[in-house]
Amino acid sequence: MMAMEDRPRRDVRPRWAPRVPRDRVRRLYESVARGLIDEALIDDVGIRLYLRCKSILTVQEIRSHRRLPCPSCGQTIALTVPWPDDESALHCPSCQWTMAWADYWATFRHQELGPGGAADIFADYAKEWEAATTPRDKILAIDRVIHRWHWETREERPSFGLGRPSAVNLIEGSRKDVIAFLNCLSYGDGSPGEATANRDAWRERWQEVKDNQARWHAQRAERLRRPGSAFGQDDSPGR
């Protein structure tokens, strides 16, 4: 008879790191602006972002390379079912864990875990955090990853230009909430010069996104005025 501890844990569900509460990020920026180095707070925010980025990169593996980690034993499972296929089941040959693919998929759908046009940004942060040895290194790594935009690192951007802020994947709140939050973060004499430059570059790109959105809406309004106009898929900027 199989011992209790050897039985496959079929009830284990995948767990994804949540987005970081805005209050923690706000407290970090306020303390840095005042010249205070709260290493516990830096590590708290940084590790939360690190785990969130690792979750996003795991979802990328599922989508791009059709493999996923078993939530029970960690063994890599090849995704052989069609995408999506609500009738198929996942199975780990190592520990015999199993789950309906539809149930597994539901654990990360609509959770802002899709890497979109920022997979390289999230991967860079994971590497930078692992390599960071000083509070300043950690602060700058945090600052860089939350002040980026989807598609900004690509030589050839989609037709709509820049996408949404990377922070929407990382920090709690809607796109509108996160943008307003980033615009209101505290800076002061204690803030690193690079952080101030990152803020300014982020605001320039936000203006670029707003300009693209205004042009798109003007073009759309013009097309709507034409007789028999029709639209295909949504190519609006800042998605």
User: How much is the pLDDT for 4?
Assistant: 41
Identify the weakest region by mean pLDDT among 53-62, 101-110, 175-184: 101-110
pLDDT digits (tens, 9 = 90+) for 123-157: 999 999 999 999 999 999 999 999 999 988 877 77
Give a yes or no: residue 31 inside a domain: yes
Give a yes or no: residue 137 inside a domain: yes
Give a yes or no: residue 6 inside a domain: no
pLDDT digits (tens, 9 = 90+) for 98-116: 998 889 999 999 999 999 9
Provide the 10 A C-beta neighbour count for residue 123.
16
Q: Side chain identity at 12, as an amino acid letter?
A: V
Give a yes or no: residue 229 inside a domain: no
Count: domains in the chain: 1
Give a yes or no: residue 169 inside a domain: yes
Question: Confidence class of residue 235 from pLDDT cuts 50, 70 and 90?
Answer: low
pLDDT digits (tens, 9 = 90+) for 189-230: 899 999 999 999 999 988 888 888 788 778 778 777 777 655
- What domain range is 201 assigned to? 11-224
Give a yes or no: residue 120 inside a domain: yes
Name, in order, each residue with C-beta under 8 angstroms of 220's C-beta and a sequence gap of 6 or more.
231
Q: How far apart are CA 31 and CA 224, in angstroms?
A: 50
- N-terminal to C-terminal alpha carbon distance within the chain: 54
Give a yes or no: residue 3 inside a domain: no
User: How much is the pLDDT for 238?
Assistant: 59
